[in-house]
Structure 1
């Protein structure tokens, strides 16, 4: 994440969760953002403005003065902030924002920002019963209707607690990300498939689905409309998308065919190569038995037949082969499937791949040009791939 050059206003209200705000401000500064803090009178009873000045390296706004701070940072001026976040936000402040009441420095900043069109994120933090209050819920819904973003608090011990600072930073970064995939529809597949042996047992593989799910999340952040078709993945998508869950290779095949009118498809799913006829009930244990496996249809090889114009990205895994052979195998798969890109990796490498959060991949295009992305987090690989399809 890189927030260099971004101007962010962090507003603090009178929740005890305000003790988390200096940590948030420091993390944002580490990513290069220029931070300006605004604190309410109630919040000053919980944290001192000096700690926010230390964390932000800027003077803290405690009241609106003749310098019209709200206009300089949130008004319709060239130097206005890129984003405003209220973290934490009390039920009282949320109610005031929802009704355009600006009787504190925080609410005046927010009212000005909403009129200007500056993105606003609100991080509620309060006692659980207050968070469940029907009018508080109504105020949150009212603000969501005008595109105000709300972070989900950690609900535990009867309280709606401040989310992990890391999650808040990620939400801010996502909000400020370039929307270079706006207007595009991307179909992503992820995870393994499950082929039933009997009513209890099944055949599957070790795929975690992390790469596919994180590609889908990253595509939404970058403005795309995403359709995710996935088997039983180890991770869940965090962004809003159409999420279609399947089990078998046949179900995956049907779902992909139905949604193949997308402009881009990234097929990361580790679809089973073989299936079998399910036996109803439970096969008796303690005895030998045989399974008759039949090959499944190769989804990647069918996609261009369904949609000739789709930009198609496939994945190819090998085990313990030299780099040259890995690339040749990827290029062969590209030609067979008429794909535009094939992403290849070696499963034997223990530093990444299946089940890990990191991987090392080679991307081969139609001209046989090879891009090597060394060992990195799969979320970074997701964005590398999306940069090639936009």
Structure 2
């Protein structure tokens, strides 16, 4: 199989900024990434699937492929953005009940860098199950961009006002320059 370049999987969840995921796709493509968009089943209704497929030249995936369908290229890195409360908790628990979660469940064991950019409100972010999930993911080497200088949860019912400032570029920067490594060290360029 011929290698097509660095492959970035963008896993999009059903959260407020999801309709703008094309911003992240465009930034990644400008950085030389081949982008594969994967949507959680609920996120399919939030995004413009035809526009994303045209932009990437690849089908938006939301289910496991059928045996006769071509295999997508393997990810060099994964960004989950916007990452919902539900997806973060399921990922931390190892739940693989969707295609997106199946990919995420395997990624740490395969050594694929994963960056999670949440979109949650303060009422969800203070919950013990969520805090434990973030801690578990970080313990496995998953970069969860939550806290000062990263994503800071917003008050309940204020999500729509936060969408324009959602830090898409931060997630891409963290994939491009993982903590402690230059891009050359990470990707051998």
**Which TM class, normalised by the smaller chain length?**
0.7 to 0.9
The structure with more radius of gyration: 1
Classify the secondary structure of the residue corresponding to 1:62. coil
Corresponding residue for 2:7? Answer: 7
Corresponding residue for 1:21? Answer: 21
Q: Which moved more, 1:131-140 or 1:53-62?
A: 53-62
Specify which of 114, 127, 132 is matched with residue 133 of structure 1. 127
Taking the aligned partners of 2:126 and 2:19, their CA distance within structure 1 comes to 23
Classify the secondary structure of the residue corresponding to 1:103. coil
Change (3 A) 1:64 1:117: same
Change (3 A) 1:8 1:67: farther
Corresponding residue for 2:174? Answer: 171
Contact 2:113 2:175 in 1 (8 A): no
- Normalized against structure 1, the TM-score is what? 0.40
Matched, 1:86 2:85: no
Change (3 A) 1:68 1:142: farther
1:1-390 equivalence runs, <5 A: 5-67=5-67, 72-73=71-72, 80-152=74-146, 153-158=151-156, 163-175=166-178, 177-179=183-185
Taking the aligned partners of 1:164 and 1:68, their CA distance within structure 2 comes to 38
Q: Could you give the per-residue CA deviations for residues 347-381 of structure 1, whole angstroms, max 9, x where no partner exists?
A: xxxxxxxxxxxxxxxxxxxxxxxxxxxxxxxxxxx
Taking the aligned partners of 2:17 and 2:61, their CA distance within structure 1 comes to 19
Taking the aligned partners of 2:174 and 2:107, their CA distance within structure 1 comes to 19
Hey, which of these two has a bigger chunk of strand by percent? 1
Q: Could you give the per-residue CA deviations for residues 111-152 of structure 1, whole angstroms, max 9, x where no partner exists?
A: 122232211111111222112211101111011101011113
Q: Could you give the per-residue CA deviations for residues 33-63 of structure 1, whole angstroms, max 9, x where no partner exists?
A: 1000111111112113223213322111121
Tell me the number of residue pairs that the alignment of Structure 1 and Structure 2 aligns.
Answer: 171
Taking the aligned partners of 2:139 and 2:117, their CA distance within structure 1 comes to 16
Change (3 A) 1:156 1:30: same
Classify the secondary structure of the residue corresponding to 1:178. helix
Classify the secondary structure of the residue corresponding to 2:153. strand
**Higher RCO, Cα 8 Å, sep 6+:** 2
- Normalized against structure 2, the TM-score is what? 0.80
Classify the secondary structure of the residue corresponding to 1:98. helix
Classify the secondary structure of the residue corresponding to 1:166. helix
Corresponding residue for 1:228? Answer: none
Contact 1:13 1:106 in 2 (8 A): no
Change (3 A) 1:19 1:66: same
Contact 1:20 1:165 in 2 (8 A): no
Contact 2:121 2:155 in 1 (8 A): no
CA RMSD of aligned residues (A): 2.5
Q: Could you give the per-residue CA deviations for residues 22-42 of structure 1, whole angstroms, max 9, x where no partner exists?
A: 110011112211000111111
Q: How far 1:92 sits from its partner (Å)?
A: 0.7
Change (3 A) 1:155 1:98: closer
Q: How far 1:155 sits from its partner (Å)?
A: 3.5
Contact 2:10 2:78 in 1 (8 A): yes
